[in-house]
Every structure is written in C-alpha cells, then in structure tokens.
C-alpha cells in the first residue's frame, strides 16, 4: 500500500493501493511498473481533481490496466479501464455500494459495500 508505481524515469506516482501481478522476488529487485499492475486505486477525500485530471491521464498514457478512483465525499467510484493510445476508452461513475468484477482477474469480485 502506498508504494511507488514506476511509470517512467520521471513519473513515479504513489497510489493508495495497487494490485500487482505475482513475481518470484516480490518486487525486491525493481519497483513495480505499469505493466505489473492489475488494478490501481486512488482514494479521494479532497484530491479528486488531481486524481481525475492529472493522475488518470498519466496512468492511461502508460497503459495501466484499470484505475479506480474512490470519491469519498460523493460515495461513488470512478472506474477507468482499457487504456489505448494514452486515453481511457471505458469510463464510468458508479455508486460504491455493490459488487465489481476485475477483467484482469476473471471470476474475482470485490464487494464495495464494505468501504463504508
């Protein structure tokens, strides 16, 4: 949690949570990169503008598979998926209550009701 995600030599954001592909060395030899990520989660209490306008395009530019921005004040989830040519092609705003699936992990679901 809250470890850097190496996107490039000059871009290393620190998301609130990253679900990573398993690696034998548990990422001891190198920091995780965008291609190692299955899901990036940013939790926004007061940083929604930064997370959506700055970080989301940055993650798309480096082809992160999926980004969730949990908007605490509005109790909603902004889901960004399928980055192509540096842009998100699938974006939606969902109420946090409910169950979400992860395309990168077929058969796995996350019950978002427990966030609150």
Q: Is 41 exposed, middle or buried (0-12, 13-18, 19+ CB in 10 A)?
A: middle
pTM for this entry: 0.89
DSSP state string for 77-103: EEEEEEEETTEEEEEEEEESSSEEE-T
Please choose, from the candidates 32, 112, 108, the residue with its C-alpha nearest in 3D space to the C-alpha of residue 79.
112
Residue 3, domain member (yes or no)? no
Q: What is the pLDDT of residues 57-97, one digit of tens each?
A: 999 999 999 999 999 999 889 999 999 999 999 999 987 67
When the pLDDT of each residue in the chain is averaged and rounded to a whole number, the result is 89
Q: What is the C-alpha to C-alpha distance for residues 16 and 85, in angstroms, rounded to an integer?
A: 25
Is 68 a member of any domain? yes
CATH no. for residue 85? 3.90.1570.10
Q: What is the domain count for the chain?
A: 1
Let me know if residue 102 belongs to a domain: yes
Kind of pairing between the strands at 37-44 and 66-71: parallel
Its domain, for residue 48, covers 17-115
Report the share of the chain in percent with pLDDT over 90: 67
């Amino acid at each position: 949690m809250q470890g850097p995600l190496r996107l490039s030599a000059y871009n290393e954001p620190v998301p609130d949570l990253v679900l990573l592909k398993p690696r034998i060395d548990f990422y001891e030899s190198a920091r995780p990169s965008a291609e190692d990520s299955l899901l990036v989660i940013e939790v926004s209490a007061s940083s929604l503008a930064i997370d959506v306008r700055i970080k989301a395009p940055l993650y798309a530019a480096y082809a992160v598979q999926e980004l969730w921005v949990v908007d605490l004040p509005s109790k909603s989830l902004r889901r960004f998926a399928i980055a192509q040519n540096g842009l998100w092609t699938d974006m939606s705003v969902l109420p946090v209550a409910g169950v979400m699936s992860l395309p990168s992990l077929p058969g796995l679901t996350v019950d978002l009701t427990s966030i609150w």
